[in-house]
Amino acid sequence: MANKLGEWIEERTGLSKLLKAALDEPVHGGAKWSYIFGSGLVFLFILQAVTGIIMTSYYSPSSTSAWGSVYYLQYKTSFGWFVRGIHHFGSSAMMILALVHMFQVFIFGAYKKPRELNWISGVFLLLLLAGFGLTGYLLPWDQKGYWATQVATNIMGTIPVIGKYIKILHQGGADYGNFTITRFYTLHVFLLPLSLVFFLFIHIALFRKHGVTPCWKMSKEVLKNRVDPFWPDQIFKDAVFAVGIYAALAGVVFWTGGAELEAPADPASNYLARPEWYFLFLFQLLKYCQGNFLIVGTVIVPALALAFLFVLPFIDRNPSLYPSKRAPFFGAVFSGLAGVIALTTLAIHHDSQDIHIIHQREEAEKQASRAVKLASKGIPPAGGMSIFLNDPVYLGEKIFKESCIGCHMVRGEGGENSPDFTNFGSREWVAGLLKNPKDKKYFGESGAMPPTKLPDESILDITEFLLSQSGNLLNINPERVERGKELALKGNCAICHPFGNKEMKKVAPNLTDYLSETWLKEFIRNPADPRFYGARNKMPAFDKLTDRELDAVVQYLFNLSKDRALVSEREEDGKKTYVFGLTSPRAIIDFKGKS
């Protein structure tokens, strides 16, 4: 039956003949491991296509919904993080493999007559890959993609005469917005793939026409006499390589937890943009091309390099494949490669040393995880950024920056007259305070409390006890709390500080429920209360803050340390109750009406 069906189809389509012709392609000189890169790229392209197609069924291309839809894919579906991770790292793998393929082709001299067009179609394919990377980076509409792509579109703008128009055409307007996403989306999922398939078709057809170019050491006899069939000799090698690529990709995705999703794009922020790693060399080059020379880095150098690649088969006309006879071209290509590697290394090295960038990365990571937590309660239709509008931490930070930062420093920013709030309320912060309250980081010379002269372990015990009273310390160690309690109550602390009774007054602040939500609120409202600093107080009272604002400031303070849980996080996630479409009377009636 199956045979008959097969024959029927064969008679009408000639499919198996076609397949046989494709598979029986003779590989002159024998199947080789050095030929696997091209087919590896085809595999990766198929992988990118299928993962991309499935992801489009989750993606929503608009400035208000893009981030939310990617968030949903990443965090709310079972396999979304994996599929997106494969797609993300798959793009890097393609770029690496494309370069390896290109260099292999170059070294083997496979671009020489009659394969010039094969090489040129390959250069087009490389350009298309870069286009994929550039357009795909923006689609999640997160901070990283948004700001890095700004750089790219601004570079377009530096092209003389037409730059301005090209930029507007890509952005879909004078600034970023809905049309930027729809245009990049169209490029990424329709125009670039179609163009890639077109050039890939030419590339493979030409490869089939001219056959492989073996290593220059292979003698003419071997090339003529040794012929392996493409199937299964070469395909087996290709399959091993494809499995290897996929296993490596899956490994990277599991190891890294998938592709990053930063906080939603905030046009008002001052994010330091960095492009994807394969564009870093261009980015670094721009640093050396300032002012009027900007165009050298943005247009002239890349254009010259590209022009060189395009004309390479026409200027290297010596038919010999021996590298020693092609020394100038090897020199040119490999010095280009060395330049790219050097620039990339410089860019990475610079960023790893720059404290502002390190801080910003930490901040971005924190904001990203905050955004994910807030988004789990649902994103208002106004868009990704709106999750922050009702977020107490966000509001608290705003108030802190308006009212507190003049005296209190946070991560190197702010005044120096009052305790530094970097990591405020963490074990490390409190232990440091106990150890040396007169440190510049805490009260300085104005501090009245003497340093606690106890071994470090005991200081950590007291810290654990003090913070355990706040009700939101994470990973409490009960043994430490017990030991700390004993030390604090029976030792010197209790001479000056009251414990266990909120109303009691002594010379130093009452530490009952120290750094808890209520303690902080009462303190901020009136630090000069005799329960706190009394007459020694220097901090202004913030009694004009509304309840909501005060709550926000306290949440922000909690958020400064990793040891404390946020109050809002203790609430349950948005709970699901009933399901639309399954329980409404109308749906059931419709169903009954049809049956």
- Decide if residue 594 touches another protein (CB under 8 A): no
- Decide if residue 535 touches another protein (CB under 8 A): no
- Beta-ladder partners of 229: 26
Please state whether 515 falls in left (phi above 0), alpha (psi between -120 and 50) or beta.
Answer: left
Q: How far is the CB of 238 from another protein (least distance, A)?
A: 9
Structure tokens at 123: 């250069």
Distances (CA, A) of 73 to 57, 81, 181, 295: 10, 7, 18, 40
What is residue 473's DSSP assignment?
B
Complex with another protein: residue 76 or 349, whichever CB lies closer: 76
Q: Which residues contact 29 (CB under 8 A, 6 or more apart)?
A: 212, 214, 218, 222, 223, 226
- Decide if residue 72 touches another protein (CB under 8 A): yes
Residues 357-376: x where in contact with another protein by CB under 8 A, - otherwise, as a string: ------------------x-
- Decide if residue 68 touches another protein (CB under 8 A): yes
- Decide if residue 16 touches another protein (CB under 8 A): no
Residues 206-235: x where in contact with another protein by CB under 8 A, - otherwise, as a string: -----------------------x-xxx-x
Q: Which residues contact 289 (CB under 8 A, 6 or more apart)?
A: 295, 296, 297, 298
Q: How far is the CB of 386 from another protein (least distance, A)?
A: 10
Q: How far is the CB of 55 from another protein (least distance, A)?
A: 8
Among 470, 546, 536, CA closest to 508: 536
CB 360 within 8 A of CB 272: yes
- Decide if residue 23 touches another protein (CB under 8 A): no
Task: Name the one residue in this structure whose structure tokens are 């007459």.
Answer: 535
Among 141, 154, 127, CA closest to 184: 141
Query: Applying CB under 8 A, which of residues 3, 78, 324, 353 lies at the interface with another protein?
Result: 78
Complex with another protein: residue 242 or 312, whichever CB lies closer: 242
Q: How far is the CB of 580 from another protein (least distance, A)?
A: 4
Q: How far is the CB of 236 from another protein (least distance, A)?
A: 4
- Decide if residue 38 touches another protein (CB under 8 A): no
Complex with another protein: residue 570 or 586, whichever CB lies closer: 586
- Decide if residue 353 touches another protein (CB under 8 A): no
| Interacting span for another protein (CB under 8 A) from 77-85, 287-295, 513-521, 538-546 | 77-85
Query: Applying CB under 8 A, which of residues 14, 257, 336, 378 lies at the interface with another protein?
Result: 378
CB 463 within 8 A of CB 423: no
Query: Applying CB under 8 A, which of residues 3, 57, 292, 353 lies at the interface with another protein?
Result: 57
The HSE-up count of residue 266 (CA atoms within 13 Å, CB side) is 17
CB 496 within 8 A of CB 507: yes
Rounded Cα–Cα distance for residues 448 and 439 (Å):
12
| Amino acid identity, position 363 | E
Task: Name the one residue in this structure whose structure tokens are 């390959």.
Answer: 122
- Decide if residue 246 touches another protein (CB under 8 A): yes
- Decide if residue 583 touches another protein (CB under 8 A): yes
Query: Applying CB under 8 A, which of residues 44, 47, 139, 488 lies at the interface with another protein?
Result: 47
- The continuous run of DSSP H or E covering 482 comes out as helix 478-490
- Decide if residue 310 touches another protein (CB under 8 A): no
The footprint of another protein (CB under 8 A) covers 47, 50-51, 54, 57-58, 65, 68-69, 71-72, 76-80, 82-83, 86, 229, 231-233, 235-236, 239-240, 242-243, 246, 250, 375, 377-381, 574-581, 583-586, 589-590, 592-593
